[in-house]
Amino acid sequence: MTEVLASERSNDSTIVTPKRGLMEGSEAIALASIAAGCRFFAGYPMTPFTEVLEHFARYLPEVGGTCINAESELEAVGMAWGALATGERAATGSTGQGLSLMQESFSEATLAELPLVIFNMARGQQDYFQSTRGGGHGDYRHIVLAPVDITEAVELTQLAFHLADKWRNPVLVYGDYLTAHTRESVTIDRLDFGEVPEKDWALDGSLTGTSRSRLISPLGFEKHGRPNPGIERHLRRIADKLRDIEREEVRVETGDVDDAETVVVAFGSPAKFVRYVVRQLRAEGEKIGFVRPISLWPFPYDAVGAAAQGARTVAVFELCAGQMIDDVRLGVMRDAPVVGIGGISTDGSGFGVGPLLDAEIIRERILAVHRGGADAELPPLPDNERAL
C-alpha cells in the first residue's frame, strides 16, 4: 500500500499522489494530512492514538517532512508551535490524557493565532468537555470536527488544516478507537476548500535586522515602534474572531427529524450506530429522527433546536457519563425533555470499544425512550466483566 506514495514522490510539497486502498483510520489520517500539505508532526505514543504517530513517522520523511518522537506531550505541542511559526502546516495529537498535558499550549496557541491541527483519538467519548470547553485557561475555543467514519475522517482532516489557516485558530479532529483502528476502503486526494489568507505573519529569520522583524506572541505584544494592541484589546479581538467562527463554521447532519417524536443526538463513531438504528426503526414506521453534530464546536444549537420542535423526547447517546447533553439542552431550550441514553462503556483495558456500542443494545435504549418518554426506565448498561 505504500508503493504509490513512495514511487511517485514529488519535490513539490503540495502534491501527494492519490492513494486508494483498504487502510485503517490512523493511516488514512496521516496520509490525508500529508495530502493537505502537513509537513511536521510531533507526538508521544498513547493508546488508541499511537498508530497515528506511527504512520506520520513512516510517511512524513518520504515527502521531505519531519516527524519527531517527542519526549512528552508538552514538548510535542511545543515543537508543532515552532514549526507552525515558520508557516508550515503542522500537527500534533494524543488521546485525552495526553491532551490534558498540552492544554496550556492549546489555549496560548489560540492566543498566538497559530493554525495548529490536533488529533484526538479518544478513549470513548470522555473528552467532549476537554475538546469543546478546553482544559486550558482563558477565553479560547478550538474548532472541533468529529468524523463518523474513515471516509469522513479523510475529508475532515484536510478541512481541519484549511480551517486552521483560514481562521488562524487551532482545529481538533475528534476520533476514537474505532476511527483509529477500523479499516475502510478510502481514496485520498487533495481536497480544495478554497483560498486561505497569505501567511505574512510567518517568520524565517529573513527580516531580522531590517526594522521589519516579526513577532509571534500570545501576549498581544508588537515590536517597538508599531501599534501595540496590549493584552486587553488582543484578547477582545480573538473573542470577536471566535464569534465569527461560531456563526460560519457549524456543520451538522440530520435525518428524519421533521415529524420525529423522538430525536436522537450522537456524534463521531457512535453516531454511525445510532444513524443505522434510527434508519432501521424509521423503515419499521417509528417516527424517530437523528441529529449528528459534525462540528462539536461550534455546536449546531439551531439544528438541534429545530429538530426538537414537535418532538416528545430528545435522547442523547454518548459514550460517557453525559457531556454533550449539556449542549443539547442549550439547543433544545426546554422545548422538549432531554435524556441521556448512553453511558460509560469500555473494553477491559479502558482504551477501546465497550459492549454498549452495539446496534441491538442501542435499539433497545432508543425504543425504551421512544415508547416510554423521558421518564422511561432504561435497560441496565451492559457490563464488561473482563479485566485487562
Partner 1 sequence: MTTPLGPTLGPVLDTTVAPTQGARKVGDLKPDLLLTQEHHMCPGCGEPLVLRSFLESLSELGIAQRSIAVVGIGCYTSFSMTMDVDLIQALHGRAPSVATGAKRMRPDSIVFTLQGDGDMVNEGLQEVLHTAARGESVTCILLNNGVFGETGGHMTATTVLGQRTKNSLDGRDAEYHGYPILIGDLIARLEGAEYVARGSVHNAGAVARTKRMIKRAFEIQRDGGGFTFVEVLTMCPTGWFLPTGDGPDYMHETLGEVHVMGELKENGRIRTTEELHEENVRRQQEIEARLAAGGLDEHE
> What are the residues binding partner 1 (CB under 8 A)?
39-40, 42, 66, 68, 70-72, 74-86, 88, 90, 104-105, 108, 112, 203-211, 213-219, 221-225, 228
Query: Measured from the CB atom, is 105 or 323 closer to partner 1?
Result: 105
Least spacing, CB of residue 266 vs partner 1, in Å:
36
Query: Measured from the CB atom, is 224 or 334 closer to partner 1?
Result: 224
Residue 147 CA, chain-centre distance (Å), reads 7
Query: Measured from the CB atom, is 13 or 151 closer to partner 1?
Result: 13
Please tell me the distance from the alpha carbon of residue 328 to that of residue 332, in angstroms, as a whole number.
6
Query: Measured from the CB atom, is 7 or 211 closer to partner 1?
Result: 211
Nearest Cα neighbor of 349 from 177, 218, 229, 191 is: 177
Least spacing, CB of residue 103 vs partner 1, in Å:
11
Number of Cβ within a 10 Å radius of residue 29: 32
Please tell me the distance from the alpha carbon of residue 332 to that of residue 334, in angstroms, as a whole number.
6
Nearest Cα neighbor of 92 from 159, 170, 16 is: 170
Least spacing, CB of residue 265 vs partner 1, in Å:
36
φ/ψ of 203, rounded to 5, equals -130, 155
Query: Measured from the CB atom, is 58 or 214 closer to partner 1?
Result: 214
DSSP 168-191: TS-EEEEEEHHHHH-EEEEEE---
Least spacing, CB of residue 101 vs partner 1, in Å:
12
Least spacing, CB of residue 241 vs partner 1, in Å:
19
Query: Measured from the CB atom, is 191 or 216 closer to partner 1?
Result: 216
Residue 309 CA, chain-centre distance (Å), reads 28
Least spacing, CB of residue 116 vs partner 1, in Å:
11
Least spacing, CB of residue 33 vs partner 1, in Å:
15
Query: Measured from the CB atom, is 187 or 208 closer to partner 1?
Result: 208
* Residues 109, 57 contacting (CB under 8 angstroms): no
Least spacing, CB of residue 231 vs partner 1, in Å:
12
* Residues 272, 152 contacting (CB under 8 angstroms): no
Amino acid identity, position 169? N
Please tell me the distance from the alpha carbon of residue 282 to that of residue 183, in angstroms, as a whole number.
28
Distance in Å from the first CA to the final CA of the chain: 33
Task: Cell numbers for 67, please give them.
Answer: 516527524
Query: Measured from the CB atom, is 85 or 311 closer to partner 1?
Result: 85
* β-sheet bridge partners, residue 68: 42
